[in-house]
Structure 1
Amino acid sequence: MLPDDVARAVSHYLSVADRLLPERIRGFYVVGSVALRAWRKGRSDIDFVAVVDGDLAERDMRRLALLHKVGNLPAAWQALVRARPNIPGTLNGVFVAAGDLGKPVTQIRPLASHSGPRFRRRHGFEANPVVWKVLLEKGVTVRGPAPDDLGLDPEPGKLREWNLRQLHGYWATWADNALSGKPRRKPLLPAHRVAIAAALSPPRLHHTIVTGEVISKEAAAEYALGTFEARWHPLIRLALAHRLGVPASADASVSDPRRLPRLVGEFIRDVIASADRQRS
């Protein structure tokens, strides 16, 4: 069952989708923080997997790009009213052809995807072993058959290595940039806020590498506190407080915003080194 705010956002999104692409969206499943029971109003996005009847022609692609803008207008309006630089509550997801659902997930070529401000054709990062595992085990059905009846193949044998590749790819580059004084940025958000928000994702991957299970960022914070050295605990607690939207307890080691991106980079490097030790 969806939280009321999520249900309203999804209903609006699908009503727009059905006007732009009549009878084409045959399945719609909510994954991410909602499925993991960690969705936070005003802080979390809404992640989905949509199943499309057939392929998408050029006209369909243009309409799908428009859907991302019009379908997310309520979230954008709320962010504007509250003067927020980001837009929580945005629906982000991947569109896959119904005929491809039975393929191993790493062999699926998505039709398109929505992520943040971007619409991408013929690409979708979300078609991966982690998202497909969540979809199969915990996905919330809004439209279409239950996930158990979709014939999904999350490729569990590739789950561990896929997470290791993410750590050594995206997150190693993130850490390198932060340690070189060029941390990743987002429009209208200071670098230290971006860094704090990033701190809990690598421990999530680490947990999946160790246990084979997928957890929320909030659960990853608790896992990290019990797994990594005490010197990282103030940073982890700060990231958890940021995630929950509550005041963080004062700690001198994380009080300087200018140092936070580098500190997060150092932490990510430690997480990667620990994950590599799990491989041996």
Structure 2
Amino acid sequence: MKHVGCSVAPRDYAAWRLVWKLCPVLPEDVARAVSHYLSVADRLMPGRICGFYVVGSIALGAWRSGRSDIDFVAAVDGDLGERDMRRLALLHKLGNVPAAWQALVRARPSIPGTVNGVFVAVSDLGRPVTRIRPIASHSGPSFKRGRGFEVNPVVWKVLLERGVTVRGPAPHELGLDPEPGKLREWNLRQLHGHFATWAGRALSGKPPRKPLQPAHRVAISSALAPPRLHHTIVTGEVISKEAAAQYALETFEARWHPLIRLALARRLGLPASVGVDASLTDPRRLPRLVGEFTLDVIASADRRCEGV
């Protein structure tokens, strides 16, 4: 689906609601969350956020209400002092009050619908992405100064090709440089870095956990990320985790198919019929299985790169 965004920047919530009625680009839940977030931003830092672009699952056509977060890239005008940085940290909290409240009401251990993203100087947008130093970023409960994982070749490619403009010029007018020549290398480093480390921990018997989430749930929610990176390494295109499930079913051995289908069902919030495979029903064994699958994906990516 092609997105056509609005570059209007009204200052209050009622005006934002009018914008989304006139320009129905985003799902209603997303429009409401972004409206609230930017209305808070404009009160805390009037006139400073001059560009706001939605990326992630929304841009890739895979956003799920009540399950997905809302990812953005924001362009900030001018230098930010200490007071401004404190206000950005406050924005992270106040801007996500609706999502936190809904999670509390529904007694969920996670907070879907959280507005997460990275702030960069508008003057840096034309620089090669790996040379941009983020101003700040926030994801989940974490606020980081001077860092932002989202400033990378994958997100910048999505921003340039599919990003939804909420405020500011369209992405193709920003002079973005996603550095396509570094795309394969960056994804391969992620597999050998973060995901290989994750797999090692899963296989060690001490798999990674998250607050209020058991290890087997963390594991199954991570299972589709490695084949997603594998797809980008092979094709040069970025896809959603849902699309990565189909790709994985077509690419990897049949022994992994029950795990892939379970991961997709969990992501979609659907019941999964996985037969009698004990490794998929035993919470103690599931992280190890995901770890083994991850290492198989990494080995496959290495073979593909050696054959190029």
| TM-score bucket (shorter structure) | over 0.9
Answer whether contact 1:172 1:269 (CA < 8 A) is retained: yes
Matched, 1:140 2:167: no
In the alignment of these two chains, the number of paired residues is 280
Q: 1:201 Cα shift?
A: 0.4
The one of 286, 291, 297 equivalent to 1:265 is: 291
Q: Residue 242 of structure 2 aligns with which residue?
A: 218
Paired letter, 1:278: R
The one of 170, 174, 194 equivalent to 1:170 is: 194
Answer whether contact 1:55 1:111 (CA < 8 A) is retained: no
Distance in structure 2 (CA, Å) of the matches to 1:53 and 1:112: 14
Q: Residue 134 of structure 2 aligns with which residue?
A: 110
Q: Residue 3 of structure 2 aligns with which residue?
A: none
The one of 209, 217, 223 equivalent to 1:193 is: 217
Paired letter, 1:170: H
Answer whether contact 1:206 1:275 (CA < 8 A) is retained: yes
Q: 1:54 Cα shift?
A: 1.4
Q: Residue 102 of structure 2 aligns with which residue?
A: 78
Matched, 1:54 2:78: yes
Paired letter, 1:81: V
For 1:9-88, list aligned pairs within 5 A: 9-88=33-112
Q: 1:55 Cα shift?
A: 1.8
Paired letter, 1:152: L
Q: Give the 3-state SS of the residue equivalent to 2:71 in structure 1.
A: strand
Deviations, residues 93-146 of structure 1 (Å, cap 9, x unaligned): 000000000000000000000111000000000000000000000000000000
Deviations, residues 71-105 of structure 1 (Å, cap 9, x unaligned): 00000000000000000000110000000000000
Matched, 1:279 2:300: no
Paired letter, 1:264: V
Paired letter, 2:288: R
Between the two proteins, what is the percent identity of the paired residues? 82
Q: 1:251 Cα shift?
A: 2.5
Q: Give the 3-state SS of the residue equivalent to 1:252 in structure 2.
A: coil
The one of 282, 300, 303 equivalent to 1:256 is: 282
Q: Residue 17 of structure 2 aligns with which residue?
A: none
Q: 1:250 Cα shift?
A: 2.7
Distance in structure 2 (CA, Å) of the matches to 1:93 and 1:23: 18
Length-normalised TM-score, structure 2: 0.90
Matched, 1:206 2:206: no
Distance in structure 1 (CA, Å) of the matches to 2:26 and 2:79: 29
Q: After the TM superposition, list the runs of 4 or more consecutive aligned residues in structure 1 that deviate by more than 3 angstroms.
A: none
Q: Give the 3-state SS of the residue equivalent to 1:96 in structure 2.
A: strand
Length-normalised TM-score, structure 1: 0.99
Matched, 1:234 2:265: no
Q: 1:27 Cα shift?
A: 0.2
